[in-house]
Amino acid sequence: MAATQKIQKVQPLLVRLEKNKNDYFPQAVSFGPYHHGEPELAFFEALKPKAVELFISGGPEGYDESFYHKKIVGIIGEIRDCYDETTIGNDELAAMMLRDASLMIIFMEMYIDGNAEQPDETTMDKIRGIVDLFGILPMTILWRDLFLLQNQIPLVVVEVLMDLRCGEGEGEYQNLLNRFLNMSIFGEYSKKRKLSRKPQHLLEAVHMLLVFDFKDESGDAPTCCKLPKVKKADLENGGAETKTTHSHGIIHRLLNSWACKNQGAANKSKFKNIKNMFHSFRSVTELKAKGIHFKPSPTQSLMDVNFKSNFFYATLQLPVWVVSTDDKVILMNLIAYELSPNSRANGEVASYISFMKALMERPEDVKELREKRIFISTLGSDQEVFNIFKDINTHGFFNPMIFGAVEDKIQAHYNSNIKTWMAELIHNNFRSPWTVAAFFAAVAYLAISVGQLYYAMYPPTQD
């Protein structure tokens, strides 16, 4: 593992913002060294040895805690390279990893079993025993704490423990990880959503699944977004065309260089004019009045956003998103991950949130997306969904290469006078079945009147 690939802490600038500060810190349990020993997390810390016992009880006989501990010590150098922490000794760090990974495994197994369609009585007894041990409320908060950026452990520890307990080559680690993530994020397990490479930690795995490359037709299953290769020439020449030195020119050059780094120099010409990066269209309601209708994308990848325009009718496809109370915390930490130094991400989640926030100016916009089954809400009102998205701070960060082509197509449709006129005519006069019926009744009445006038002027001759 490269030394530069660290499990990052949240950038200090993000933590200083009081409104979102608590979204980055654990409420019940610490994973890894960054929050280890904090007094408010002492309850779960005292229960972690029980999680180790539960994990060991599911393994081969003769494999005790010291056996697993020694195996983790064997990879302690790789684990240590994942953190900036250097003060914890090897034995203590290995013991911490064993406790934290055991708790994570027990929780993931319980989550999968609890969401099975028809769990047997033995499984239910096991789940009840774990819930009785840890408590319902802490276990609920534990799910939230698993996905915090600076509350992660290297997944290689989980992999090693699962291979020791179940046998190498059995695929139990990948099965556990894929099932847990699929059920956590999408509410169901699908073999079509798999990780294309090994993630360093759980939050990175969530990011990979959310932005999987739905267009990849090379195999049976879509794979996660592939990172483009960075060419030295792209980094050296990025933004070279822009010679201005005022503030917007500097921002322009930085965006140009960043876009080249992550997407290649072929698309660099798109940013020669910074005006191309901004659009005048606004909310869902406004776009609907312009003849743009909304429908769910065939996949749940956040990158699956498509726009198709016809003569006076257009369709914007958006990924389905199940909105819950924990969305803000998870999405904020995914954005913090994207903003981390040397992150493997390209700003996909921040770009998606920025795009969706631009479409939602009021709860009525959320209502339209909910009625089209793009938003599936577990909350009580559209206002709550609206508030969650508006409270997610992207810090002005977005990758203009991701949805730029879609935004350009929307703007072109929006700017078309003919399409706008036809759409507004239909929107204003055909809002309900009654207006449609009235229109056709008026047409029929006009046709009858014309017919009567014609026959009055030219009566049929009688032979």
- pLDDT tens-digit readout, 163-216: 999 887 778 999 999 999 998 888 887 777 778 789 999 999 999 999 987 665
Average pLDDT over residues 92-96: 96
145-171: average pLDDT: 92
Question: What pTM was computed for the model?
Answer: 0.79
The better pLDDT of the pair 462, 162 is held by 162
Query: What is the predicted pLDDT for the residue at 191?
Result: 72
Q: Is the pLDDT of residue 25 over 60?
A: yes
Average pLDDT, the chain: 80
- Span 76-92, average pLDDT: 89
Q: What is the pLDDT of residues 114-146, one digit of tens each?
A: 776 666 777 777 778 888 878 887 888 899 999
Q: pLDDT class for 59, splitting at 50, 70, 90?
A: confident
Average pLDDT over residues 377-382: 88
Is the model more confident about 200 or about 240?
200
| pLDDT at residue 276 is higher than 70 | no
Do residues 139 and 131 touch, judged by C-beta distance below 8 A?
yes
Q: What is the pLDDT of residues 278-294, one digit of tens each?
A: 566 679 998 888 888 99
Average pLDDT of the residues in 429-445: 63
